[in-house]
Amino acid sequence: MLETDLQVHRTVDELHAKVALSLVRKITELSQQRSRIHLGIASDISSTLLHKIADIMHHHPDLVDQWSPVHIWMADERYVDHDHVDRADTHIDEALASRFPIVQLHRPPSPANSKNLQAAARQYEEEMVAVYSVHTLLDPRSIALDLSLLGIGQDGHFASLFPSHNTLDATGLYVAEPHSPKPPAQRISMTIPVLRRSRASWFVVAGKEKATVFAQALQGANFREVPAGAMNQVGTQWWVDKSAASRIDRIF
């Protein structure tokens, strides 16, 4: 693993500040290369980090004015109503999409506007294909995010892709998760193939309770046991605090 793939920071606040600043710089850089930017954000990305990103954007309008339109896709979302307390995209809307016109948030369907969980996953996939297909209809297998912003659970899951679940074998863009071990049970998730196609993937991991599973993911553990291990590849950047990195030396 390249040394530059791992960034360790002393505190969670320092970690979030560095990720926020780096993300704004990354989008500014991508805007020089692309007419549109596609960003995936996992549901476990903290609202604190989202607001730090928003604060930098607010204080540097000169940078944001240079941006290409930023399309945000949920890497995973809970299948609950849009106003439900467990809904993650609400925080992204409040921090970013509602404040900055350059940001367009694509919200997965809720029970109120879809027939069922499986139908909601299909609808969201169809929306992604339609948005990506500017001139001609694209093969979904060619669709790739410019950047995915992800986290890791204590059991090694990421983007609501849980150990030993059938969703780990899903193809296409999105898959329905009907039996999440963490409530709410019904979720929609990007598949491993589309997440692995991300041109860049940033994992943000904090806390001593995630130290062991983070070290396992970092060394490419079997993805059926530690799903995040599937993302240990070129283009993945691991952003962690000192506590989360505390077991690295014991593993390697």
Q: pLDDT per residue over 184-213, tens digit each?
A: 999 999 999 999 999 999 999 999 999 999
- Say what the alpha-carbon torsion angle 83, 77, 207, 164 is, to the nearest 10 degrees: 140
* pTM attached to this predicted model: 0.95
User: Is the confidence at residue 125, as pLDDT, over 90?
Assistant: yes
| Residues 24, 57 contacting (CB under 8 angstroms) | yes
Q: On the CB side of 100, how many CA atoms lie within 13 Å of its CA?
A: 29
Mean of per-residue pLDDT scores for the chain:
95
Higher pLDDT, 188 or 247: 188
Q: How far is CA 25 from CA 20, 51, 144, 184, 207, in A?
A: 9, 16, 20, 35, 26
